[in-house]
A and B are shown apart, each in its own frame.
Chain A
Amino acid sequence: SAVISQKPSRDICQRGTSLTIQCQVDSQVTMMFWYRQQPGQSLTLIATANQGSEATYESGFVIDKFPISRPNLTFSTLTVSNMSPEDSSIYLCSVDRERDGYTFGSGTRLTVV
């Protein structure tokens, strides 16, 4: 299956600051997906990132709060901006490859204090 590396694996941040999460895939993929998993909850899609175009955001998520970059077919970043304690979650990137299905990184555990 696809190998996905996420950085950082965890961080503790002050409210009002921003954190950029990196996602690196071991092969080229068309779409990369960013999810949020709040404590004890399921996964909620934040946005879909296509290379060369603006990311598509789900209802309830906006670009100013969660800007995404997708500079090439193996890499993407998600920034969590102007953080508040409510942003404390696990953030996961995911890709879909036909033979492997949807694969997830190990996640970034964010705590905002």
Chain B
Amino acid sequence: QQQVKQSPQSLIVQKGGISIINCAYENTAFDYFPWYQQFPGKGPALLIAIRPDVSEKKEGRFTISFNKSAKQFSLHIMDSQPGDSATYFCAASMRSTGANSKLTFGKGITLSVRP
């Protein structure tokens, strides 16, 4: 059973455009929702994260939108640049539980930003 589902599987965007990646989760006990960016040969790097008491969070060109009733959250990358070309993972955890706070990852999507 896949608890965190990402879509689309891949994405191609023109430079300057908006990249939108969606994620749906099943476990309503999840209380922490991060997005990670991974370049080849590197570990995942935390981009931005949100808790369910907030509907939107923005950091620079990256915005998370959160819809608790739909159990969905999305990553928006504004003014996409070729340097944003990477693999993006959404994840979720029951972070406040402490002992059971492991991260569950989506399958990831490959973003390509065309010059």
A92 contacts partner chain B, Cβ-Cβ < 8 Å: yes
CB neighbours (8 Å) of B46 from chain A are 1, 100-103
The answer to whether B102 touches A48, judged by C-beta atoms less than 8 angstroms apart, is: yes
The answer to whether B107 touches A42, judged by C-beta atoms less than 8 angstroms apart, is: yes
A75 contacts partner chain B, Cβ-Cβ < 8 Å: no
Q: How far is the CA of A96 from the CA of B100 in the complex (A)?
A: 12
The residue of chain B having its C-beta at the shortest distance from the C-beta of A48 within the complex is: B102
Q: Which of B22-30, B37-45, B55-63, B65-73 contacts A (4 or more CB under 8 A)?
A: B37-45
The answer to whether A43 touches B34, judged by C-beta atoms less than 8 angstroms apart, is: no
> Of A94, A96, A102, A106, which one neighbours B42 at CB under 8 angstroms?
A106
Q: How far is the CA of A1 from the CA of B46 in the complex (A)?
A: 10
CB distance from B89 to the nearest CB of A (A): 6
Tally of A-B Cβ pairs under 8 angstroms = 47
CB neighbours (8 Å) of A1 from chain B are 46
A66 contacts partner chain B, Cβ-Cβ < 8 Å: no
Q: How far is the CA of A47 from the CA of B82 in the complex (A)?
A: 35
CB distance from A106 to the nearest CB of B (A): 5
Once A42-B106, A42-B108, A43-B89 are accepted as A-B contacts, the answer to whether A104 and B101 lie under 8 Å apart by CB is: no
The answer to whether B43 touches A104, judged by C-beta atoms less than 8 angstroms apart, is: yes
Contact flags A88-108 to B (C-beta < 8 A → 1, else 0): 000010101000111111110
Inter-chain pairs besides A102-B34, A107-B43, 11 sampled, C-beta below 8 Å? A41-B108, A42-B105, A42-B107, A42-B108, A45-B102, A45-B103, A92-B44, A100-B46, A102-B103, A106-B43, A109-B41
